[in-house]
Amino acid sequence: MAKLRHCCTVLLLLFTSVSAHSDFFTSIGHMTDLLFVERDLVSSLKDYVSAEEDKLQRIKRWADRLDALSTAGSQDPEGFLGHPVNAFKLIKRLNTEWAELESLVLTDVSDAFVSNLTIQRQHFPNDDDQTGAAKALMRLQDTYKLDTETISSGRLLGSSSVATTSSVLTMEDCYDLGKVAYSDVDYYHTELWMAQALKQLEQGEESSVVDAIAILDYLSYSVYQQGELERALAFTKKLLELDPSHQRANGNLKYFEYQLSKQKKLEVDDNDEEQRMWKENRGRRDDYLPERKQYEKLCRGEGVRMTPRRQSRLFCRYYDNGRHPRFVIGPLKQEDEWDSPHIVRYHDIVSERDMEKVKELAKPRLRRATISNPTTGVLETAQYRISKSAWLGAYEHPVVDKINRRIEDITGLDVSTAEDLQVANYGVGGQYEPHFDFGRVTDQ
């Protein structure tokens, strides 16, 4: 019990660094804290299980002893109670020992764990975080053209982590993703994830929460909303095979059949260009970015390719920036990334130790990144910027000042008029889509 209370205190201290923050899904840095908190909660849970097991063992010993006594006495009750010691002990057991056993059974060893969990839950991610993380998965799905099977199995190309059993989406996970899409009136992703949930259910996954009827209900409506009446009707019939009394499905069956008969009478041409374009672009986000296809191609590594001749003109070199005093003895490692416009990369500019110090300084101050509203000029959050950021001034730590001076030496620019060093930490499916990045000077 003392160990559980101690664990509760430790967890409370652990969360002081993140309790003031929200939007966990927008920052991997803050999500790492959640991993450690969960690990300590699991440790607390194991302590509770051990305490429960110890309690049950004590009760079992009581039961075994009392069973032996009552069995012996019931074989010859009168002879057994003829012995005055047996009579005394029977009365004593029923008067005091059973009361002690009752007290033991009623002892709630979960108090410390439940109290611990209750304290921590107020700092846990909320529904908005879960929704944000779900939308992030779907954003990655669209950007990298991943199918639901690939994501569900955890086999994500380019992922730095190895897929484990914890990286696999269960049927219930897929169902929840579909529900998030449905709540967002995103019927394209609703269909994809409900279909994946149904597939895993039919492959033998079990659930006490979700059944085929609930999945088919979402599936039929989502494909109907995308104009596919025949498939909507097929899913509805499949649902009614499982539950003939399903009220909504029976109503939908008649409606879909009626709409389908009307459609056939009008002889809708499936090759109609407008309908073809609609089907091709279904599920695409209708937002401000006309260059989205090119942008997503770049994310997938499908952008403009250099010819071998242009590639051959790119070099790596040691660079001293015109024999700058700081780089004469220790020149910079410079690499050509692109020829026109000329883009170069500098290697080993900041040491690992300095980077860790920057992260240490920034983490407690990370807040959801904002954009400036082009109309009002007010800072606000936006769905196309999924990250948290912090600002560090040169005066705050020698490391920040050293990085600023390093930038000056490399570029020849004066950072005294620049904004502070911005540290950005991206979350699940983190992104900052292409945007115009400039400031406005208001009239005085």
Q: Which of 223, 260, 227, 252 is nearest to 243 (CA)?
A: 252
Q: 203 with 227: CB under 8 angstroms?
A: no
Nearest to 249 by CA among 259, 236, 234: 236
Which segments in the chain show pLDDT lower than 50? 1-21, 162-163, 268, 286, 444
Angstrom distance (rounded) from CA 283 to CA 224: 14
Domains of the chain, residue spans: 2-121, 127-281, 349-444
Determine the Cα–Cα distance for residues 285 and 287; give it in Å rounded to an integer: 6
What is the C-alpha separation between 160 and 158, in angstroms, rounded? Answer: 6
The model's pTM is 0.69
CATH H superfamily, domain 127-281: Tetratricopeptide repeat domain (1.25.40.10)
Q: Residue 187: what pLDDT?
A: 94
Q: Strands, E, within 93-156: which ranges?
A: none
Tokens found for residue 226: 């995308």
pLDDT recorded at residue 114? 78
> Are 112 and 48 spatial neighbours (Cβ–Cβ below 8 Å)?
yes
**For the segment 355-370, what is each residue's pLDDT rounded down to a tens digit?**
999 999 999 999 888 8
Token pair recorded at residue 24 = 């966990």
Question: Helix (H, G, I), strand (E, B), or coil: what is residue 392?
Answer: strand
d(C-alpha 301, C-alpha 321), whole Å: 32
Q: Residue 258 phi/psi, 5° resolution?
A: -65, -45
Decide: residue 314, CB within 10 A, 0-12 exposed, 13-18 middle, 19+ buried.
middle
pLDDT at 122: 74
Residue 231: HSE in the Cβ half-sphere, 13 Å Cα cutoff: 14
| Rounded Cα–Cα distance for residues 159 and 430 (Å) | 14
- Concatenating the DSSP letter of every residue in 334-369 gives EEEEETTTTEEEEES-S-HHHHHHHHHHHGGG-EE-
